[in-house]
């Protein structure tokens, strides 16, 4: 069996080949969020770049939604939005072999209309691909992320955080009792 034939029958090797091709072309952050003023990679950018490379290497990525939760949330201006969280199982496979690789990804999105599920599904796929294939930015930096505003915390808040950390590894019931936190689920 030749090296080329062996590579076609191995899903991890196909993923590696896709990664190699993506390392040469990348997917830039060419879209702009005008409201928050930051650059991002849209799902169409991911589809347009990956479709050719996945086809070239005979690698198929098949999704299956394994869980969904949609709730209605209030906006800051008093309106409502649909908030959806999806659990998606993705199967990487090839017509050249029986081997499969399964990955799980979450997708989350909000929409005022009927698109929150579609957006969450797109987000899950986009971030699955970015992570599995280690998609580069074509030499761009990530300096376009929105700035976070830091709020200083006082000594009491630091003590609470320290106690929380200790509670995660020791006595959670005593922590919740001391801070009167009965309504939250057990800490992991």
| Model pLDDT for residues 162-182, shown as the tens digit of each residue | 666 555 545 556 655 665 555
List own/partner pairs for 16-22 with CB under 8 A and 24 or more apart: 17/57, 17/59, 18/50, 18/53, 18/54, 18/57, 18/59, 18/133, 19/133, 19/134, 21/53, 21/56, 21/57, 22/49, 22/50, 22/53, 22/133, 22/134, 22/135, 22/136
pLDDT of residue 33: 86
pLDDT band at 118 (very low <50, low <70, confident <90, very high): very high
Stronger pLDDT, 148 or 107, i.e. the higher one: 107
pLDDT of residue 98: 85
For tokens 């957006």, what's the residue?
119
Q: Per-residue pLDDT averaged across 50-73, rounded?
A: 95
Q: Per-residue pLDDT averaged across 56-60, rounded?
A: 95
pLDDT of residue 7: 44
Instruction: Sort 21 into a burial class: Cβ within 10 Å, 0-12 / 13-18 / 19+.
Output: middle
């Amino acid at each position: 069996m030749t090296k080329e034939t062996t590579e076609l029958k191995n899903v991890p090797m196909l993923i590696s080949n896709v990664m190699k091709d993506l390392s040469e072309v990348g997917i830039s952050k060419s879209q702009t969020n005008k409201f928050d003023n930051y650059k991002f990679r849209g799902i169409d950018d991911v589809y347009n770049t990956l479709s050719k490379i996945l086809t070239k290497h005979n690698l198929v990525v098949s999704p299956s939604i394994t869980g969904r939760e949609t709730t209605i949330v209030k906006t800051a201006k008093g309106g409502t939005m649909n908030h959806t969280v999806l659990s998606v199982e993705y199967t990487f496979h090839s017509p050249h072999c029986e081997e499969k690789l399964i990955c799980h990804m979450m997708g989350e999105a909000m929409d005022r209309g009927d698109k929150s599920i579609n957006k969450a599904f797109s987000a899950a796929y986009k971030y699955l691909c970015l992570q599995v294939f280690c998609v580069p930015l074509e030499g761009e930096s990530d300096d376009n992320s929105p700035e976070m505003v830091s709020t200083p915390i006082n000594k009491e808040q630091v003590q609470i955080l320290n106690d929380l950390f200790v509670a995660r590894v020791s006595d959670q019931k005593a922590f919740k009792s001391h801070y009167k936190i009965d309504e939250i689920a057990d800490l992991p």
